[in-house]
Each structure stands twice: as C-alpha cells, then as structure tokens.
C-alpha cells in the first residue's frame, strides 16, 4: 500500500492531490492512536476505581519506561524494514553485567558504563551481520536473542545479585522532586528529543524512510544503506543496555532471565503506534502513544483485577486490528463504485502494481 | 482522489479500533463491579498473588484461601502474572498499593526484587503475608511456611533412596533456575548427599530446569534420560515438573526402570501412581496452606496480631498457630502419598 502511493504522486501535479495542511497533519494513524490513548485514559479515570489515585502515574511510567526507551531505536529499525528481536536479551545481558561487575567491587556508574559498551558491541554484531554480511535481520536477531540470553544466564548461573548501592536503586525508583514523574523520564525525554530530530529532521532520517521504501533506490540516491543500518542496530543495542540497567536498578535484582519477552512488547507497541512492519512508514509520536496505550490498558485492567490473559487478549486484538483495519478499509474503499470511476490513470496504475510487486 | 480517500481511512480505523477497545474495557468493568464495591464496605479486602496463574498448585491454594475468606467474611480476589517472574509480580503489588487493599498474600518469585514494591504497599497500610515462597523477612509481616526446607529435602532423598535401593545415579528436574524454594531444597539435598553415609552410593549427576512449564519440563526429562543412560532416579521438587516427567516416563521404555519422586499433587499424579510409574511422592496440602495464609492475613489486618514472635491466632479447622522467630508460621510436616492413600485425597 505504502509503496504504491508515492508513485502516482510523482506523475501528477502537487495541486491535484495535496490535501489541506490540517488534514495531512491530523487525519493520520498517529493522531488516531493518540486520540484512542486519550480516550482510554479519560474512560479509566471516570470508571476504574483508584485509577485517578496518586500512585498510578508513577507506577505506570515506571512500568513502561524500558519499553518507551527501546521503542525509540526499534521504530527506526522497523522503518528501514528490518527488525531487532534481540533487544530483551541485550537488556538481560547488561543487567547481568551490571550485577557481576558491581559485585566484583566496581561502582555502579563504572559497571553501567561497561554494560552500555557491551550493549554497543551486541548491537554492532547484529548490525555487522545484517548490513555488511547481508543476512536477514529476522534470522540474525533470533540467533543473537538466544546467544545474548545464553551468555547472560551463563554468567550468573542460577543466582541473582541484589545488593546494589542504595542510592543508585533509589535513583531508579525515585521521582522528580515532589512530582509523580519518575526520574527515569529525564534520560528518556533527552533520548526522545534526540531520536525525533534524528528521524524527522535530519538527512539521516530521510535515508531511513527511503531504505524502508526501496533500499536499492535509496542506495542510488546516495544513502549509505549499510552504514545507516549499522548505526541503527548499534543505537538499538546501546539503548537496550540502558533499559536493562534501569530495569536492574528498579527491581534491585540482576538475573539472567530479566526482561524475558520484552522484545514482543516493544514490537507490539511500535506496530500499534502506526509503524509499518514492511518499512517506510511511521512516526515517533505515534509509537510513544502506542506504548502509553498498552501501558494504560494494562494498568487499568489490573486495577479491575482482570487476569493478565484477558489483558493480553485485548492488547493482542488491538494490535491485530490496528494492523489489518487500514488494509481492510482500503480494500473496501477500492471496491466502491465511485473509486472505480476515479481511475482514469489506467496504464499508469498497471505499471505501479508491477513495480510494487518487485 | 486516491489520496483524499486514504486519510479518512485512518479515521475510520480509529473509530473501529476505539469501539473495540471500549467494548473490551466496558465488558470487564461490568463483570467486576460487584467486587470493587465490596472492598469499599466494612469487609476485609484481601488480594492473593500467586507466582503465576494457571498452576494447579496455586489454584488449589487459592481454593483454600477462598474458603477461609468466606468463613471470615473477607473479600478475596486472585490476581497474577502468566509467567513466574518477579518483575511481573511488581506491577500487581503496585496495584494493591493503589487500591489500598487491607492485606496482600503472595508467593514471591524473588526474595529481594519485590521488597521495594512491598515496602510501598506496606506504607499504604497493606498487611503483607507471604506463603509458599518467602521474601526477605524484613520485607513482609508474616511468612506461612508449608514445611521446613530440611524436612522437604530429607523426605525427597528418603523416598528416592528407597525407590532405587540406595545406590545409583540420580538427577533433579527443578522449576525456574532462580526459584527460591527449589534452590534451597536442592542445596540441602546436595549437602545431605555428600554428608550422610546412607546416601554414599547415590550420585547426583545433573540438575535441569523446566521453568514450571509443562512442555519444557517434559523435554528436559527426555534430555536427562538421553544424556544419562545409567540414570536410576529423578527428583522433581515442583508439581509441574513431576507431572510432566511422569507423563514422559509412563509412555516410555523407562517406565518402572527409572524411579521418579518429588513434590506433586494427588490429582495430577493419581494416574501415574495407579499405573506404577511413580511409587510415592511427597507434599503438604496447598489448600490448608492458602487457608492458613488467609487466616494469618485477616488476623493481621484486624489488628488481632502484630506478627511478633509468640503471637497466636485461630485458623478455623486447622487449629491454633503460633508465630515463630522471624515472623514464620509453620503449617506442618510433609506428607507422603502412595498407592494406598492417594484415593483419600482430592486436590
């Protein structure tokens, strides 16, 4: 769908198809997710007992912080048409490294720095295999998912390290001054601004979209496809390691199986936020709204004592619906008679389908 | 024209998705209205948080807890994650703090990792009772202990030693690699094996982890038997593990040749005891455990006891219990189930 859209645009004049600016800004997938999130929040405040309580916001943001963090690089990775399934294992590995190094006498910041470097190395390995060796990211990151998790569990065995310096774990669970905003939102906000600039306001970001739409075309227009992919996987590794450090300090426990399964939550939130799994489409504000939406639904349903299985069913259905509804509606729209008469550009659309199929 | 159509498509998607999400929330809201209202009244509100849901052992302890809650007149609800990990439990403990419940009964997936969350709940005046798996003593008010670790470790070695005739290779099929209970028992069994002359001819060759998942435990059993052809016996100190191992053994050539014992529930093990795969296994009654935890939580929340050593409280049919050192309440000795008595139990 998305690969088809720009082609006819090039052969028409801008005036022929450009919608008013407000429409292009507001009638989007991202707006839909944001409105839906706001609606669920308002509904929960009105109907879910204790949702408006003083602790909700703090716990909600603490719960979703690792997913918010990893969703940033994951969005860029998925927009290029790749995927990174190893993020949760990198979290686990950085968690274990932080624990092991701290136990051997290193201070928390020094151990955290080394854990971040390990995340960078993990990301670089992914990136190298995908971008320079040319292996498919799905296969590579399934492999490293097992590899990094295996190293993590192997390093720490069956034990957990729990004696972190109090002030650092307090930092992970603390809030900003008297507000209910957890401190972890500060590094997140900095990273979020960085990633928004990178994706939406830089040539690098334009390259990311181009790779997702057609990486060969991107290559011919001067985008360094390999380097871009390598950088994205490295970013993904580093940010995942950061999320792992936060996770460890928040729960005060470094364990090999920390954050198992988080990759699926991250990818679900990214897709729910309007990023196309086929690449080339998606924006960060939609993704962040997607993460918050899943967080709010889980939090509200927990307050209602709904079992986690029901929560998963609802989030899962929401995800499936968000992926298939636009396609179904697009298909339904194309069957309308008015649509048929609006296709004088017969030969051109033939060519489009042909190129889209390649 | 094509472009004009596409944008409204997004909106229509929103509308449909929204209806859908609200339908989900609304439906659940209606179903739970009753219990939410109940906690506002004079009744005690207690939340039961097992390690994970869908585990028959915890289903049974929750049955016991519900029966006890009914007798006391408390409002008890069970919540829990689907996988037994501490980070998943933290969200539920946080929720209990938000709801301001009177008491929380939980089986901890990690002794340390839950402490911050429990502290927050306790500062919101929630009384915290652990059962089955404890946290650090300073984190909670009381721990209802199903049996002493020494008692369990000794009982399982005694059973396996009887069944393999006192000599040969044995292995352990455990739950998650960092499960508090299982690791404590395994450590004690290892020490006992090394030190007790009765077990001098028994060698522990491997410990594997089935993560309390049926399929994984099944697969690990298969792997154990393939990796150790001389294996004489398996100890599985977890109900999910022993049932999966028994299922594997009863359909394999090893049935009756490789002994299996550990901790299991009669309903899960009945078939395998009756067909001769398993001779005997041990456990306490989780129903009594859940009930005792509920009585203890209610006594704390009502202010009848403070959790000090020497405090006594009544636990319905179970009798009177005394709080031991470190806020521990002991349920009793482990019990051996075999072909003669398994018919008397239904849990």
Q: What is the CA radius of gyration of chain B?
A: 23
Nearest Cα residue in chain A from B77: A305
Sort B308 into a burial class: Cβ within 10 Å, 0-12 / 13-18 / 19+: exposed
| CATH code that applies to domain B149-283 | 3.40.50.2300
Please report the pLDDT score of residue B30 as a whole number: 35
**Cβ distance of A333 and B9 shorter than 8 Å:** yes
Query: What's the average model confidence in pLDDT over A146-155?
Result: 95
pLDDT in tens, B70-128: 999 999 999 988 878 788 899 899 999 999 999 999 999 888 888 889 998 999 999 99
Separation between Cα atoms, residue A285 and residue A34, nearest integer Å: 8
HSE on the CB side for B306, CA within 13 Å?
2
How close, in Å, is residue B128 to chain A by CA atoms? 18
How close, in Å, is residue B79 to chain A by CA atoms? 6
Q: Is the pLDDT of residue A358 over 50?
A: no
Within 8 A of B120 by CB-CB distance, chain A residues are 55
Q: Is the pLDDT of residue A149 over 50?
A: yes
Separation between Cα atoms, residue A239 and residue A61, nearest integer Å: 17
How close, in Å, is residue B93 to chain A by CA atoms? 10
* Residue of B250, B167, B88, B281 lying closest to A260 (CA atoms): B88
Nearest Cα residue in chain B from A162: B112
**Cβ distance of B32 and A43 shorter than 8 Å:** no
Separation between Cα atoms, residue B180 and residue A347, nearest integer Å: 69
How close, in Å, is residue B150 to chain A by CA atoms? 20
Nearest Cα residue in chain A from B179: A158
- Angstrom CA distances, B80 to A187, B58, B89, B92, stand at 31, 10, 7, 7
Contacting B residues, span 121-140, partner chain A, CB-CB under 8 Å: 124
Q: Is the pLDDT of residue A337 over 70?
A: no
Q: Is the pLDDT of residue B42 over 70?
A: no
Closest CB to A19: pick one of B4, B91, B110.
Answer: B4
> Structural domain boundaries of chain A?
29-40+50-327
pLDDT category, B141, cuts 50, 70, 90? Answer: very high
Query: What's the average model confidence in pLDDT over A10-21?
Result: 64
Separation between Cα atoms, residue B268 and residue B254, nearest integer Å: 20
Q: Is B77 helix (H, G, I), strand (E, B) or coil?
A: strand
Please report the pLDDT score of residue B261 as a whole number: 95
Pairing of strands B168-174, B231-236: parallel
**Cβ distance of A23 and B21 shorter than 8 Å:** no
Nearest Cα residue in chain B from A321: B17
How close, in Å, is residue A144 to chain B by CA atoms? 21
Q: What is the CA radius of gyration of chain A?
A: 22
Alpha-helical runs (H) found in chain B:
2-40, 56-72, 86-99, 115-123, 149-164, 180-195, 214-227, 239-250, 266-274, 286-301
Q: Is the pLDDT of residue B8 over 90?
A: no
Q: Is the pLDDT of residue A294 over 50?
A: yes
How close, in Å, is residue B56 to chain A by CA atoms? 16
Does domain A29-40+50-327 sit in CATH 1.10.287?
no
Within 8 A of A303 by CB-CB distance, chain B residues are 95, 98-99
Within 8 A of B82 by CB-CB distance, chain A residues are 308-309, 312
Q: Is the pLDDT of residue A299 over 50?
A: yes
B334 touches chain A (CB under 8 A): no
Closest CB to A305: pick one of B12, B79, B88.
Answer: B79
Closest CB to A326: pick one of B9, B22, B176.
Answer: B9
pLDDT in tens, B180-201: 889 989 999 999 999 999 999 9
**Average pLDDT, rounded, for chain A:** 86
Separation between Cα atoms, residue B313 and residue B332, nearest integer Å: 16
Q: Is the pLDDT of residue A98 over 70?
A: yes
Please report the pLDDT score of residue A342 as a whole number: 45
pLDDT category, A166, cuts 50, 70, 90? Answer: confident
Kindly state the tokens that stand for B96: 């209990």
Selected residue with higher pLDDT from A72 and A159: A72
CA A65 to chain CA centroid, nearest Å: 12
CA B306 to chain CA centroid, nearest Å: 25
Nearest Cα residue in chain A from B174: A158
Within 8 A of B112 by CB-CB distance, chain A residues are 160, 162, 252-253
pLDDT category, A16, cuts 50, 70, 90? Answer: low
Q: Is the pLDDT of residue A349 over 60?
A: no
Q: Is the pLDDT of residue B297 over 90?
A: yes
- Two domains, one topology: B43-145+286-331 and B149-283: yes
Buried b (16+ CB within 10 A) or exposed e, A44-71: beeebbbbebebbbbbbbbbbbbbbbbb
Instruction: Say which CATH architecture domain B43-145+286-331 belongs to.
Output: 3-Layer(aba) Sandwich (3.40)
* Residue of A356, A355, A130, A93 lying closest to A247 (CA atoms): A93
Query: What's the average model confidence in pLDDT over A97-125?
Result: 95
How close, in Å, is residue B249 to chain A by CA atoms? 27
Separation between Cα atoms, residue A115 and residue B99, nearest integer Å: 37
B42 touches chain A (CB under 8 A): no
Please report the pLDDT score of residue A11 as a whole number: 59
Please report the pLDDT score of residue A209 as a whole number: 96
**Cβ distance of B13 and A322 shorter than 8 Å:** yes
Query: What's the average model confidence in pLDDT over B137-149?
Result: 90
Separation between Cα atoms, residue A323 and residue B116, nearest integer Å: 38
Kindly state the tokens that stand for B225: 């038997």
How close, in Å, is residue B222 to chain A by CA atoms? 21
pLDDT in tens, A170-212: 888 888 888 889 999 999 999 999 999 999 999 999 999 999 9
**Cβ distance of B53 and A307 shorter than 8 Å:** yes
B85 touches chain A (CB under 8 A): yes
Please report the pLDDT score of residue A219 as a whole number: 93
Nearest Cα residue in chain B from A298: B91
pTM of the model: 0.73
**ipTM for this prediction:** 0.73
Kindly state the tokens that stand for B176: 């998650």
Separation between Cα atoms, residue B90 and residue B118, nearest integer Å: 8
The number of C-beta contacts closer than 8 angstroms across A and B is 183
Order of strands across the sheet that contains B259-262: B202-209, B168-174, B231-236, B259-262
**Cβ distance of A302 and B95 shorter than 8 Å:** yes
**Cβ distance of A251 and B92 shorter than 8 Å:** no
Q: Is A315 helix (H, G, I), strand (E, B) or coil?
A: helix
Contacting B residues, span 181-240, partner chain A, CB-CB under 8 Å: 183, 209
pLDDT category, A14, cuts 50, 70, 90? Answer: low
Within 8 A of B16 by CB-CB distance, chain A residues are 321, 325
**Cβ distance of B2 and A342 shorter than 8 Å:** yes
How close, in Å, is residue A258 to chain B by CA atoms? 8
Separation between Cα atoms, residue B243 and residue B247, nearest integer Å: 6
Please report the pLDDT score of residue A143 as a whole number: 96
DSSP per-residue letters across B120-153:
HHHHTT-EEEEESS---TTTSSEEEESS-HHHHH
């Amino acid at each position: 769908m998305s690969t088809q859209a720009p082609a006819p645009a090039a052969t028409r004049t801008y005036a022929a198809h450009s919608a008013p600016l407000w429409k292009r800004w507001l009638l989007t997938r991202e707006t839909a997710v944001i409105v839906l999130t706001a609606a669920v929040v308002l509904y929960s405040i009105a109907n879910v007992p204790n949702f408006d309580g003083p602790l909700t916001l703090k716990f909600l943001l603490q719960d979703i912080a690792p997913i918010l963090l990893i969703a940033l690089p994951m969005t860029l990775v998925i927009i290029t048409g790749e995927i990174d399934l190893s993020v949760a294992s990198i979290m686990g590995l950085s968690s274990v490294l932080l624990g092991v190094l701290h136990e051997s006498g290193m201070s928390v910041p020094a151990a955290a720095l080394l854990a971040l470097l390990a995340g960078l190395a993990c990301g670089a390995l992914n990136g190298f295999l995908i971008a320079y060796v040319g292996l498919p990211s799905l296969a590579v990151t399934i492999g490293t998912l097992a590899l990094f998790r295996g190293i993590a569990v192997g390093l720490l065995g069956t034990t957990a390290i729990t004696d972190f310096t109090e002030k650092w774990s307090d930092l992970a669970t603390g809030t900003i001054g008297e507000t209910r905003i957890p401190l972890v939102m500060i590094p997140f906000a900095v990273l979020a601004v960085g990633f928004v600039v990178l994706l939406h306001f830089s040539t690098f970001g334009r390259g990311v979209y181009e790779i997702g739409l057609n990486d060969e075309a991107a290559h011919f227009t001067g985008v360094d496809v390999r380097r871009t992919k390598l950088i994205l996987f490295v970013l993904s590794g580093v940010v995942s390691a950061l999320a792992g450090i936060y996770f460890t300090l928040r729960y005060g426990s470094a364990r090999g199986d920390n954050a198992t399964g988080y990759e699926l939550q991250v990818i679900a939130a990214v897709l729910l936020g309007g990023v196309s799994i086929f690449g080339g489409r998606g924006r960060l504000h939609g993704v962040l709204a997607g993460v918050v939406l899943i967080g709010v639904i889980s939090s509200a349903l927990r307050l209602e004592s709904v079992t986690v299985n029901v929560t998963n069913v609802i989030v899962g259905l929401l995800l499936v619906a968000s992926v298939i509804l636009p396609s179904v509606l697009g298909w339904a729209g194309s069957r309308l008679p008015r649509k048929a008469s609006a296709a004088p550009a017969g030969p051109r659309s033939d060519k489009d389908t042909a190129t889209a199929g390649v | 024209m094509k472009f004009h159509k596409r944008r409204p498509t997004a909106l229509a998607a929103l509308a449909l998705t929204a209806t859908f999400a609200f339908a989900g929330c609304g439906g659940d809201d209606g179903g739970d209205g009753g219990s939410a209202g109940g906690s506002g009244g004079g009744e005690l509100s207690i939340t039961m948080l097992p390690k994970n849901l869908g585990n028959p052992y915890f289903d049974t302890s929750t049955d016991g807890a519900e029966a006890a809650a009914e007798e006391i007149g408390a409002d008890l609800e069970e919540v829990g994650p689907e996988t037994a990990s501490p980070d998943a439990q933290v969200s539920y403990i946080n929720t209990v703090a938000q709801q301001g419940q009177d008491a929380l009964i939980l089986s901890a997936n990690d002794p340390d990792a839950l402490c911050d969350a429990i502290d927050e709940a306790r500062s919101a005046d929630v009384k915290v009772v652990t059962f089955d798996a404890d946290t650090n003593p300073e984190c909670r008010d009381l721990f209802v202990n199903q049996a002493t670790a020494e008692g369990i470790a000794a009982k399982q070695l005694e059973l396996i030693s009887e069944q393999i005739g006192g000599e040969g290779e044995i292995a352990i099929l455990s739950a998650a690699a960092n499960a508090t209970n299982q690791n404590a028992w395994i450590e004690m069994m290892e020490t006992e094996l090394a030190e007790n002359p009765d077990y001098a001819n028994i060698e522990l060759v491997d410990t594997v982890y089935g993560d309390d998942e049926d399929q994984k435990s099944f697969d690990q059993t298969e792997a154990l038997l393939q990796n150790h052809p001389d294996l004489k016996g398996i100890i599985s100190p977890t109900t999910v593990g022993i049932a999966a191992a028994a299922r594997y053994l009863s359909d394999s050539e090893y049935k009756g040749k490789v002994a299996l014992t550990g901790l299991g529930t009669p309903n899960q093990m009945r078939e395998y005891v009756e067909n001769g795969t398993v001779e005997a296994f041990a456990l306490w009654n989780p129903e009594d455990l859940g009930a005792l935890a509920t009585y203890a939580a209610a006594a704390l929340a009502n202010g009848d006891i403070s959790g000090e050593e020497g405090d006594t409280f009544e636990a319905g049919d179970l009798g009177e219990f005394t709080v031991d050192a470190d806020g521990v309440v002991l349920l009793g000795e482990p019990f051996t189930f075999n072909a003669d008595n398994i018919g008397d139990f239904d849990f």
